[in-house]
Structures are given as C-alpha cells and as structure tokens.
Amino acid sequence: MKTGLYIHIPFCQQKCLYCDFPSYDNLTHLYQPYVAALCQEISGWGGVLSGTLIDTIYIGGGTPTLLPADALKTILTKVHESFSIDEAAEISVEANPGTTNQEKLLALKSGGVNRISFGVQTFSDALLKSIGRIHSAEQAVRSVKEAQDAGFSNINLDLMYGLPGQSCKDLKVSIQEAIKLDVTHISAYGLKVEEGTPFAAMDQLGTLILPEEDDDEEMYTFTTEYLPQHGFRRYEISNFSKVGYECRHNFKYWKYHPYAGVGAAAHSFFQKERLSNITDVSQYIDCVKKGKLPIEFRENPSSAIAMAEYIFLALRTVQGLSILEFQEYFNRGFYLEYGEIVSELLQKKLIAVKENQINLTVLGMKYGNVVFRAFLPG
Ligand code: SF4
C-alpha cells in the first residue's frame, strides 16, 4: 500500500498563547544539528520503506518555513534520495505568514512541494495580537500572494473561531478575506483551551474572556454554512476545499492508512503499530547521532481500541464509514459489535445509515465527540 510521510519541524519564532503542539521558540542554535539528525532518520526510514511508494508528504510543525532555504533544500533532497515518490505525490509544507520569502519559496518549489498551508488564523490584527501570533493581516495577504506568484496554486489557510473577543462579524470578515485570496482549501478550527498553555493559566485566573456559548455556536454555524455556499465543500469536520483539492495526506490518518513520521515528537502508523518519537529536541538529536532509533513509545492498540479509532477517524469525513471495509479490515461483524450503539446514535439523529455506509448527520458533525465516545470500549 502507498504510504504517507510526515516530517516534523519543531521550531517557532514565538509560542502562540493557545498552542500545545510540540514546538519551541529560541532554539535557533539547534536548526543545523536537527536538520542533520532528521536527514539521518529519513535515510533510515528510506531503507525500511524501500519498495514502497510514498504518495503524500507533509512537512509540519512548528513552523517549517522558519528554517533557512538551504536547510529546506537539504531536507527535500534527502527525501527524494531516500524514497520512491509517486509522480503525482501531494507534497505539503506548513508555513506561517511572514516567515516565507522568495528564496524559500523557490527552494520548496524546486524540491517538489506543491501545496502550502498558511497558519493565518484571522485577518484581524487585534485578534492576532491577542492570541500571540507573530504576523499581521497584511503580512498574511502578502505571503499568500508571494506564494501564488512563485507558482503555488494549491494553498490552504487555517482559520480559527471562538477566539477571545471575536464576534461572528469578525469571523465573517476573515472568511471573506480568505475566499478573496483565491485559495483552494480552508481549515476552520474552534479554539480549545489546552492544558499547560498560557491561555489555560489565564482561564484559571479568570482573565481569558471567551465568546459566550451562543456566539461560539453562531460562528460554528456561520462557518459551516458560508464556506460551502462559496465553493468550499465540507469534506471533514474542520476542513473545506474546492473540488479536487482535499488534503490527501490527512486522508492517511482518517482512512487508517500507514504513514511514517520523522523528527522530534513525530508519530508513525506502520504495520498496524503506533510509534512516537522522542519529544525533546536535544534528546532526539543525541539519540539519532548515536545511531539509535529515536522512538519513545510504541504500541499495538488492542482490537477494541483499533476498531474505535478506525470508526471515528472514518466518521470525521463526509465519505463516512464503509461497513464492508471495516469488516474486511478487522474480520469482525460490525453490527455484532456495535448494533446497539448504532441504534442509540440513530435515535439521537447523530448518524445516518444508508446501505453499507454510516455518516455523521449535520448534528453529528457538531457533536462529533459524543459519537466518538460512544464507540470507545468500556
Ligand atoms: S505557529 Fe503554530 S506551532 Fe508555532 S506556536 Fe503558533 S500555533 Fe504553535
């Protein structure tokens, strides 16, 4: 089976106040040794996956475009040397506005990158500042246009709703601005206050003023209705795209397909085993330098967990869950395992069943967590 490749770049110029991703600021001194370790790990995976075609690559972070152009080139060259890459592969890079320039864009283009995902979040300068982003709205527009001028036509913008002080009117302006930029894909995420972030600390102190539940709901409804009315089909809970521009790499996760993850904190799903790399950047570098596998954790999920994961990942997408594919993958009768749960969720109008297909309803998309919890064992 064709495989995906994820490459993690754990560096950011500044930590955003809501972010709990494995990314760090003030590590410029580690860029060079990190890229060297990454290339060594890529070579190793190249051996493991020889004979396997890679059809999606995703360089995420962190902020990959914080690395200098020559480092980006080094990584991409190593990837091409180490793997057999499908001619039609989707190769994405995450970027933050203000961290790209012509030299980096050309390095990405010549390294085969054909999709850029910009973390814009909002086009309101006041909101950007309040969530600790480094860029301005104007920089976001400029970065997208520069990428388009450099020949990138497949561009995603990440947007957020439910930000402190954000109104539905603010959100509408941001979404309209994104659409005006003629991008192909928009991911829209609701803010979640994650443990250990500055926002969580502010929340505890009572200084984080989030939109009221009704306002949050209005923003969610607006996003999910407005984008499809303007050419962006909702194909997953938080993802919208023009026809043919769905992110193929993300389908590796949602369809339970294999992928290799390289870099600090990267996750892999390989031969039905889940692996995660060492999170600490310096320890990751040291471990790879010593010629050891930088794996911190590995597990073969129990069949109950694997089945639940398979179901809820498939249900996130508008394609939904194919009961026949599930049965083939696990060699188990779907209704024998989940008949009662399916009846309950049908009654609550959270899912719809048609022939051998189960999909979330509009209500189910909104309360996805309720559906997903229902399938978890015990
Ligand atoms: S740019 Fe992205 S990865 Fe970096 S701190 Fe902000 S949200 Fe986190």
The tokens of 118 are what? Answer: 């910009």
* Fold of domain 3-253: TIM Barrel (3.20.20)
Ligand 1 mean position, distance from CA 343 (Å)? 41
Question: Before 62, cis peptide (omega within 30)?
Answer: yes
Q: Which amino acid is at 359?
A: N
Domain 303-375 is in which class? mainly alpha
Where in the sequence of the chain do the CATH 1.10.10.920 domains occur?
Answer: 303-375
Three-state secondary structure of 121-182: ECCCHHHHHHCCCCCCHHHHHHHHHHHHHCCCCCEEEEEEECCCCCCHHHHHHHHHHHHHCC
Residues 67/8, Cβ–Cβ less than 8 Å: no
Q: Closest by alpha carbon to 68, among 21, 38, 105?
A: 105
pLDDT of amino acid 37: 98
Ligand 1 mean position, distance from CA 299 (Å)? 28
The tokens of 206 are what? Answer: 């009572």
Ligand 1 mean position, distance from CA 178 (Å)? 19
The closest-lying atom of ligand 1 relative to the alpha carbon of residue 23 is 3
Residues 269/258, Cβ–Cβ less than 8 Å: yes
Backbone angles phi, psi at 276, to 5 degrees: -130, 140
Instruction: Determine which residue's CA is closest to atom 8 belonging to ligand 1.
Output: 19
Backbone angles phi, psi at 260, to 5 degrees: -105, 140
Instruction: Determine which residue's CA is closest to atom 7 belonging to ligand 1.
Output: 19
> What is the spatial distance between Cα 44 and Cα 33, in angstroms, rounded to a whole number?
17
pLDDT of amino acid 229: 98
Residues 174/227, Cβ–Cβ less than 8 Å: no
Q: Name the β-bridge partners of 295.
A: 277
Q: Which of 9, 11, 12 to mutate to test the pocket of ligand 1 (most atoms within 8 A of CB)?
A: 12
The closest-lying atom of ligand 1 relative to the alpha carbon of residue 94 is 2
> What is the spatial distance between Cα 50 and Cα 186, in angstroms, rounded to a whole number?
34
The closest-lying atom of ligand 1 relative to the alpha carbon of residue 132 is 6
The closest-lying atom of ligand 1 relative to the alpha carbon of residue 19 is 8
The tokens of 226 are what? Answer: 């407005």
> What is the spatial distance between Cα 94 and Cα 296, in angstroms, rounded to a whole number?
25
- Residue 149 contacts by C-beta under 8 Å, 6 or more apart in sequence? none
> What is the spatial distance between Cα 194 and Cα 198, in angstroms, rounded to a whole number?
9
Ligand 1 mean position, distance from CA 22 (Å)? 9
> What is the spatial distance between Cα 40 and Cα 207, in angstroms, rounded to a whole number?
45
Q: Name the β-bridge partners of 58.
A: 6, 92
Q: Name the β-bridge partners of 299.
A: 274
pLDDT of amino acid 9: 98
Instruction: Determine which residue's CA is closest to atom 6 belonging to ligand 1.
Output: 16
The closest-lying atom of ligand 1 relative to the alpha carbon of residue 62 is 3
pLDDT of amino acid 129: 97
Q: Which of 9, 11, 15 to mutate to test the pocket of ligand 1 (most atoms within 8 A of CB)?
A: 15
Q: What are the pocket residues of ligand 1 if the criterion is a CB atom closer than 6 Å to any ligand atom?
A: 12, 15-16, 19, 21, 23, 61-63, 96, 119
Upper half-sphere CA count for residue 13 (Cβ side, 13 Å): 14
Ligand 1 mean position, distance from CA 212 (Å)? 25
Ligand 1 mean position, distance from CA 237 (Å)? 21
3-state secondary structure of 193: coil
pLDDT of the chain, 378 residues: tens digit per residue: 899 999 999 999 999 999 999 999 999 999 999 999 999 999 999 999 999 999 999 999 999 999 999 999 999 999 999 999 999 999 999 999 999 999 999 999 999 999 999 999 999 999 999 999 999 999 999 999 999 999 999 999 999 999 999 999 999 999 999 999 999 999 999 999 999 999 999 999 999 999 999 999 999 999 999 999 999 999 999 999 999 999 999 999 999 999 999 999 999 999 999 999 999 999 999 999 999 999 999 999 999 999 999 999 999 999 999 999 999 999 999 999 999 999 999 999 999 999 999 999 999 999 999 999 999 987
Ligand 1 mean position, distance from CA 199 (Å)? 13
What single-letter DSSP state applies at residue 24?
B
> What is the spatial distance between Cα 59 and Cα 281, in angstroms, rounded to a whole number?
16
Where in the sequence of the chain do the CATH 3.20.20.70 domains occur?
Answer: 3-253
Ligand 1 mean position, distance from CA 335 (Å)? 42
Residues 198/17, Cβ–Cβ less than 8 Å: yes
pLDDT of amino acid 273: 95
pLDDT of amino acid 378: 76
- Residue 182 contacts by C-beta under 8 Å, 6 or more apart in sequence? 148
Q: Which of 17, 23, 99, 134 to mutate to test the pocket of ligand 1 (most atoms within 8 A of CB)?
A: 23
What single-letter DSSP state applies at residue 273?
E
